Amino acid sequence: INVSGNLSLAGGYLDMAYQASSYSVATELRLAGNLSLTATSTIISSGGNLVNGKIIFTRAGTQTVYEGAAGRIAYTNFQVNSGSTTEFLSNLYLYDYANALKSGSFTVLSDGIIDMNTYSLHGYHVASGQANVINTYTSFILNSNSGIITANQYGVQRAGFINGSISAAIATRTFNSGANYTYDGTVLQNSGVFVTTPVANQVKNLTINNTFGANTTGVTLEQEFRVAGVCTFLSGVITSTNTNILTILDDVQVLGTDLDAGSTKYVNGPIRKIGNDPFAFPVGKISHGCRPIYISQPSNITDEFRAELIRGNAGLLGPITAVGLERVSACEYWYLDRLVGSSSVDVSLSWSGESPCNAQSYVTDLPNLVVAHFNGTSWDAYGNDGGTTGNAVKGTVTWNNVSTFSPFSLGSLVWWSNPLTVKFINLQAHEKNGQVKVEWGNIAETGVDKYFVEYSIDGRRFDEINNTTARKNNGERTDYLWWHATPANGVIY
């Protein structure tokens, strides 16, 4: 039967297998519209020795499927055709029978898409009457160049039988490594744990469109994702670890990331790049935004680099031993590791005045700004022979032909500029009972000798009226308070 419009069942049965037992070809319901069943209607392929009927979604565009209750579509196969998108408006159940002939299957053909929303495709075990028992014969097949879209908080598949878009109770689940995977949740999501074939942990295109909100973990990876096509950020971040890492293969594009502190589209954790492409690692941290690190083109397509942004005080890693290097950032630093290969590359670090490290720019003197290197014991080397871009508000500094990798930090060749170690908060002064209460705080105090308070009656000539020795210098927040007991009358600064 070819149905060009919708099929809606309000009661009764539609039998998909009321044919002779000698028939080996399934009956087909080719549907171009939406499919909807109430809780009192049924589509079934009857007879234990008759091949299942098949519902084929054929619309060039999106059509929907709704099953009013479990068991309304039983012993039936499903197929999404090329060019069709089938959107779930409810859970859907594949029935597991005593033989493969009657057990349900769901297949997505090349260029077909299933949009699962927050729902699941379950495997229903007839003998036990439950949807959380491992099936024997049901199957799900996501073919090469097809796609799955999930808004489920557990992602594509979870160990629990009824969690995730595709239930682990389904007997055979085929996730092709040449298929496309999209996460478009409105809640925090996990990726799910599933095996792709023929290449494990690989997808063609990966799209992140998680709109839960800024400063959240977005989509958390529970396994490695190797992207062979295009990685697209529409909204939200990917949260990764060194084990559950996002890997970008050779010649793969990363689209949509915002390489700035105000970004809501980046990798919150490590990211690995394989190949001989110049690459901007879109790394960041929650509530800190994106702070990319760049490499020039490696020599070989087999070269592998891994990068991660660390929100913290680089000075706490160890002392400075490089001659001429005065300080390193107390705001952030980067791990950049060469995992495979021997290529030397140019390394560029970035900064942004929107950084939450400081109320004002923490880069003030570009000629004396450098890329500093940590050797595991001390900050032993630096360079800026690749020059700088931008200004104090936003830019990059480059060290050419780097061959030794490990943590890198922004550094300064002079102590009086690029105040990378001081991150003032709560900086204010106000009058009370004829005195002036002066307050300030350093969110991560380190490398500070003293603070000086200066005072002016004209806003031009300032005189020192107090100096306070730093109390902690351990990288933690430290707050200070001082009273100016004898200020002049009128406006003072």
Q: Which of 259, 251, 292, 297 is nearest to 278 (CA)?
A: 297
Q: Which of 359, 348, 424 is nearest to 390 (CA)?
A: 348
Kindly give the confidence (pLDDT) of every residue in the chain, 493 residues in length, as a single tens digit, with 9 standing for 90 and above.
Answer: 999 999 999 999 999 887 776 777 789 999 999 999 999 999 988 877 788 899 999 999 999 999 999 889 999 999 999 999 999 999 999 999 888 888 999 999 999 999 999 999 998 888 777 777 888 999 999 999 999 999 999 999 986 655 799 999 999 999 999 999 999 999 999 999 999 999 999 999 999 999 998 889 999 999 999 999 999 999 999 999 999 999 999 999 999 998 877 788 999 999 999 999 999 999 999 978 899 999 999 999 999 999 999 988 898 899 999 999 998 988 889 999 999 999 999 999 998 866 666 545 578 889 999 999 999 999 999 999 999 998 877 899 999 999 999 999 999 998 777 766 566 778 899 999 999 999 998 877 766 788 999 999 988 888 899 999 999 877 788 999 999 999 999 999 9
Q: Which of 474, 478, 476, 450 is nearest to 464 (CA)?
A: 450
Q: Which residues of 234-269 are buried (b: 16+ CB within 10 A; e: fewer)?
A: ebbbbbbeeebbbbbbeebebebbbbbbebbbbbbb
CB contact at 8 A, 218 and 190: no
Euclidean distance between CA atoms 18 and 20, whole angstroms: 7
Euclidean distance between CA atoms 355 and 329, whole angstroms: 12
CB contact at 8 A, 274 and 249: yes
Non-local (6+) Cβ contacts of 478 within 8 A are: 441, 442, 445, 470, 471, 472
Euclidean distance between CA atoms 285 and 436, whole angstroms: 38
Tell me which amino acid residue 287 is: S
The angle formed by the CA atoms of residues 291, 296 and 302, to the nearest 5 degrees, is: 110
Euclidean distance between CA atoms 189 and 151, whole angstroms: 8
C-alpha dist (Å) from residue 396 to 27, 255, 283, 357:
64, 20, 15, 17
Query: In this predicted structure, what is the pLDDT of residue 124?
Result: 84
CB contact at 8 A, 57 and 29: no
φ/ψ (deg, to 5) at 2: -105, 120
Q: Does residue 198 have a cis bond before it (omega within 30 degrees)? A: yes
Query: In this predicted structure, what is the pLDDT of residue 357?
Result: 66
